Structure 1
Amino acid sequence: MNNTFKIAILPGDGIGPEVMKQAIKVLNKVTKYFKENIIINTFKVGGTAINTYNEPLPKITLQGCEESNAILFGSVGGPEWEYLPLQKKPETGSLLKLRKHFNLFANLRPSYIYKDLYSLSPLKEEILINGFNIICVRELTGGIYFGQPKGKINNTKNVYAFDTEIYYIYEIERIAKIAFNIALTRQKKICLIDKANVLYTSVLWREVLQKISQQYPTVKLTYMYIDNAVMQLMKNPAQFDVILCSNLFGDIISDQCAMISGSIGNLPSASLNNNNFGLYEPAGGSAPDIAGKNIANPIAQILSLSMLIEYSLKNTYVSQNINNAIIKTLVQGYRTPDLVCHTKQEKIVTTEDMGNIITDNII
């Protein structure tokens, strides 16, 4: 009897439902390759959930996620809900709550550039000659964003504010092991991004990483200060394989990795816990200005599905099949408007068409 694997589909707002529709096409195409019986259930989240349930993460959605093995998340938010207080807004009220609820402490953000899209990158072509393929592993639930105490003191002549960076050894160990295991499947290189020359927390990161590295003798571990790292990413991104970061530094580095790739519309992300449960989403936003126009790029959402299949379903064959289909589609010259490089070979297509072509290119 086949196992059952349940996926909670949360299309979200703006372009979310449009690009999610294309990812579901791809999922339907590849189900023949799974030993598991794939069941998908769709739930409202973000602004659309606020409009229906008066809250961005209603109980029915959270329960549906709890009963699933993974979440495929669309983008949320838009100007329609900007008036709401912070905790009630689509982003903080749904995505951040899901990360906390499921203890999704490991954020994975791959960054690479397709050869046919070099001109979209802000980097010079001579820097991109060898391409790059980086995965940023960011600790997501600790560090200065969550450390206590934090606050602002107003009852003094010298008003001041403060935040506290705290990391426990177990927080570093669990994210480090994920990074090392990913490195084993790639070029076997990890670079820890820190500020160990001034921060005690960074010193602790290095101590823990050095100890764990002894369990992975084939993986080369290096260190780099954050200020140097942002320069090196611009100068020679090909030198990096797996980048491991604390929450704050990962927030910085992962966005720079996205920028140098040329289009955030091509980049997925995954947030994982220790129980093989993950939330997979595009790195970009809901783009309400182009919602409903059938011009959004669905590649990041489809690649988010590919990551779900790779990390939660543990099926690298299907994941690579999807990735190859996307590469083939781009080589054939098909582009959504955000990917136009102004060459004669380009064929500008709609969101729907791009989803159909990628699906057709899957073997």
Structure 2
Amino acid sequence: MSDVKKLAILPGDGIGPEVVAEAEKVLKKVEELFGHRFETSRGVFGGIAIDQYGTPLPEDTLAICKEADAVLLGAVGGPKWDNNPKETRPETGLLGIRKALGLFSNIRPAVIFDCLKEASTLKPEVLEGTDLIVVRELTGGSYFGEKFRRETENGQEAVDTCVYNVKEIERIVHQGFQIAQKRRKKLASVDKANVMETSRLWRETVNKIAPQYPDVELEHILVDNCAMQLLRRPASFDVIVTENMFGDILSDEAAMLTGSIGMLASASLGEGSFGLYEPVHGSAPDIAGQGIANPIATILSVALMLKLSFNYQEAGDSIERAVKNVLDAGHRTGDIAVDKSKALGTTAMGDLIVAAMTR
């Protein structure tokens, strides 16, 4: 019998609890098929934690995460908390948990399922062969730099400081190169080196590291051009590595290549095997409680967890294969369905994926 892996489950807000429930069914199927064992603990996180405890990241929740081998997160946020002070916004909890757990890297794959090309707004011939990963630095840059306002003769002025040091850049760039080595050996480093000093340091650091990976083809590309080329030639990208804010924006753009942000998984990693796994999509409060959310991104996040944190490659492949087979059979949730009248609900889609899983 395999070792028991400890999982912290943070369902969060909106559709989070609904999609996490389907992911947990998949984990139970993994136990049945492969003999792996998971011990789960649940924590309150995000807006619901603000309502109950006055903070998006209670100490008890953080303790559960630190004792776990991996974290599965649903989604956080919603208009209910949009006007809260910074300290009591759900997004502050996300930044806090990443920092507290040392998660400096966010991995976001964007893969086109052939059967879903019609769901994308791009032409099928443009999408052909698209299979890329965005590697986003997660704990530096303007999201974590000093922020303040001050009075000037022209009225109030706001400042967000973007700061990066060489170590922060090195560790994320090494990870980008290493991921590229296991794929098609192409790395696009995205910056704004024609304008920003942090980007000039980024590019200098990438160039110093590149000789250590002679088998990887390196491309430097400015962020605005990258945003354009993702729509013009998405299949030419293999691995994209970039700083925090650029990665946030570009990974959401890449998500829409697939036709729905409800399809994309993500992993937030640190130095070791520990990781936090979550769908790229938000809490979608407009459809929460209706049972129509797409659970595939969360289910694919479990597949990422099994592979990246636990090295359970066969089990992760089983999930990904089941998702592909269910989609190839024509089953769709509303966000990716051409004929909305035939769309499946959250639970029905989860049940089909579990039923399709095999060794």
Normalising by structure 1, report the TM-score: 0.92
1:110–1:269 contact (8 Å) kept in structure 2: yes
Aligned match for 1:254, one of 251, 256, 267? 251
Letter in 2 for 1:18: E
SS at match of 1:338: coil
The Cα of 1:288 is off from its aligned counterpart by 1.7
2:54–2:88 contact (8 Å) kept in structure 1: no
2:13–2:76 contact (8 Å) kept in structure 1: yes
Residues 1:122 and 2:121 aligned together: yes
Match of 1:139 in 2: 137
Letter in 2 for 1:99: R
Residues 1:350 and 2:345 aligned together: yes
The Cα of 1:163 is off from its aligned counterpart by 3.3
SS at match of 1:181: helix
Q: In terms of mean alpha carbon deviation, does 348-357 or 73-82 score higher? A: 73-82
Instruction: Measure the CA separation in 2 of the matches of 1:286 and 1:79.
Output: 10
Instruction: Measure the CA separation in 2 of the matches of 1:355 and 1:157.
Output: 55
**Does the C-alpha gap of structure 1 residues 61 and 147 become closer, same or farther in structure 2, counting only changes over 3 Å?**
closer
Match of 1:310 in 2: 307
The Cα of 1:33 is off from its aligned counterpart by 5.8
Aligned match for 1:361, one of 348, 356, 359? 356
1:15–1:75 contact (8 Å) kept in structure 2: yes
Residues 1:105 and 2:104 aligned together: yes
Letter in 2 for 1:20: V
**Does the C-alpha gap of structure 1 residues 226 and 349 become closer, same or farther in structure 2, counting only changes over 3 Å?**
same
Instruction: Measure the CA separation in 2 of the matches of 1:192 and 1:182.
Output: 13
Residues 1:202 and 2:204 aligned together: no
Residues 1:286 and 2:283 aligned together: yes
Cα RMSD (Å): 2.0
**Does the C-alpha gap of structure 1 residues 50 and 249 become closer, same or farther in structure 2, counting only changes over 3 Å?**
closer
Match of 1:80 in 2: 80
2:177–2:216 contact (8 Å) kept in structure 1: yes
User: Residue deviations 1:28-59, cap 9 Å, x none?
Assistant: 11125657532111222223323333432222
Normalising by structure 2, report the TM-score: 0.93
User: Residue deviations 1:58-111, cap 9 Å, x none?
Assistant: 22211111110110001112233345323212232x222111111211011111
Match of 1:17 in 2: 17
SS at match of 1:280: strand
**Does the C-alpha gap of structure 1 residues 188 and 32 become closer, same or farther in structure 2, counting only changes over 3 Å?**
farther
User: Residue deviations 1:195-234, cap 9 Å, x none?
Assistant: 2223332222222222222222211111111121111111
1:3–1:35 contact (8 Å) kept in structure 2: no
The Cα of 1:159 is off from its aligned counterpart by 5.3
SS at match of 2:12: coil
Give ranges in structure 2 of 5+ residues lacking alignment. Answer: none
Q: In terms of mean alpha carbon deviation, does 305-314 or 75-84 score higher? A: 75-84
Residues 1:219 and 2:216 aligned together: yes
User: Residue deviations 1:253-295, cap 9 Å, x none?
Assistant: 1111112221000011111111222111111111122122111
Give ranges in structure 1 of 5+ residues lacking alignment. Answer: none
Instruction: Measure the CA separation in 2 of the matches of 1:191 and 1:28.
Output: 38
Q: In terms of mean alpha carbon deviation, does 207-216 or 113-122 score higher? A: 207-216
Instruction: Measure the CA separation in 2 of the matches of 1:180 and 1:166.
Output: 22
